[in-house]
Amino acid sequence: MLKFLLFCTLAVASRADIAEEEDVLVLKKSNFDEALKAHPNLLVEFYAPWCGHCKALAPEYAKAAGMLKAEGSDIRLAKVDATEETTLAQEFGVRGYPTIKFFKGGEKESPKEYSAGRQADDIVSWLKKRTGPVVATLTGVTEAESLIADHEVAVIGFFKDTESALAIAFEKAAEAIDDIPFGMTSDDAVYSKFEVSKDGVILFKKFDEGRNTFDGELTKEKILAFVKANQLPLVIEFTEQTAPKIFGGDIKSHILMFVPKTATDFQDKMDQFKKAAEGFKGQILFIFIDSEVDDNQRILEFFGLKKEECPAVRLITLEDEMTKYKPESDSITAESIIEFCTQFTEGKLKPHLMSQDIPEDWDKTPVKVLVGRNFEEVVFNPKWNVFVEFYAPWCGHCKQLAPIWEKLGEKYKDSPDIIVAKMDSTANEIDAVKVHSFPTLKFFPAGEERKVIDYNGERTLEGFTKFLETGGKEGGAPAGDDDDLDSEDLDDVDEGHEDESDGEDNEHDEL
């Protein structure tokens, strides 16, 4: 009996060891397994205390934890300081912050990566879809009203025969969407309440027109397309919380309006922008960015804009390569935006490539200064071997490289066929090279072939010299083989995902 009491005391002490902060369990290696046993449905955030994205997520994450706890749900939210619990971070493949994983049934082997938005409602909806029925059965008006009231977006299928092929197609569509709740009803009172006269699908939302009725053949694919086209507001603000929805969606063409919220004509500009958006639903995502917010200044810089130049409009496609477009007119009216978007959808626009003016003394210094306007004629001069650093003024790694690059330029300043150059890629763009990280180093050997060779060697004067003296063979790799930053890393940056270091220890700063 004493042994049994001692065992119980130790077990209680072990469970009590799991502290909570704002309804979020605080996990460590010492209590992680215990937490999985005690909570069969557990969402765990691996974070870093210095991570800005983690700080932005924290209040919404705590709010979601509180909502579930208040409902008496067996789903719990937890967090792990991955900078302290490095063994856990390594075990679960944490590469950036925040990384969020869902553990079901106490299993550690294959947790599910969290894939929805970063607002409390998104988190709760995703978890309920993962732990409950894919489609909730709505047996009365109260249940239907609650589903709609409790969520920013909800989809209800109205089917008299819930076993029909149409109802099954609806369920299959629901399985493919994690972050929106689906319900189904055959109740006459619910039909009457929402003025539905025949079987169909309605998307309810707390913005814009309030509801959208599906019109067409009820197949899984068409229901999915309907939901994806209507689940976001006509115009969505870019923030830490909305970034995952913006970049994680299927719509890869985005038009952005940069405007200060404090402007006296802000609402007028928004009304014009929203009016234009109505005709491009499902084709182009309309986004506005508060140009006065400090965190948005890098985005303005990426588009070659300054605060004083706003309001302004730009369009970007996020396919294999990012392509930017600029309207001919600075006017922000529904008519001008519709014309701009129509030209884009019809393939009549040319990409907008930024370029500074050519400096008068661009070739007077050991390191030549390239801009968009003189790039081609210099790097593809068949008589010259040109070694170029593509940099960003704010990039810490570029600043570290600068004195070495200057020494390299000095070493070859009198060479008849070797040119050492640099280009500010935040202000200049060219078709020949797509820059995704800083610094990017590329070599353009002499000849008519227009070859491009990536530099992958040591960033030392000796390494650079050996590379140039061997014609780009020692330390070089064919263009396209550079693996310093892959597409997944770009997605992490776009969606609000910070790299594991604080930026100063990496070889590149990301765009």
The residues that are catalytic are 51, 54, 395, 398
What is the rounded end-to-end Cα distance, in angstroms, of the chain? 65
Phi, psi dihedral angles at 353 (to 5 degrees): -110, 120
- HEC profile for 317-350? EECCCEEEECCCCCCCCHHHHHHHHHHHHCCCCC
* Closest residue by Cα to residue 307 from 321, 297, 317, 295: 297
Q: Omega into 439 within 30° of 0, i.e. cis?
A: yes
Interatomic CA distance for residues 457 and 143, integer angstroms: 63
Q: Give Cα separations from 200 to 115, 137, 301 (angstroms).
A: 28, 15, 46
Interatomic CA distance for residues 397 and 258, integer angstroms: 29
CA quadruple 81, 84, 90, 92: dihedral, nearest 10 = -20
Q: In terms of DSSP H, where are the helices of 110-258?
A: 120-131, 141-149, 165-175, 188-193, 220-230, 243-248
Q: Give Cα separations from 18 to 67, 91, 387, 509 (angstroms).
A: 20, 20, 56, 38
User: Checking DSSP bridges between strand 24-26 and strand 75-81, what pairing results, if any?
Assistant: parallel
Interatomic CA distance for residues 138 and 182, integer angstroms: 10
User: Checking DSSP bridges between strand 99-104 and strand 112-113, what pairing results, if any?
Assistant: antiparallel
Helices (H) then strands (E): counts for the chain:
17, 26
Interatomic CA distance for residues 260 and 57, integer angstroms: 24
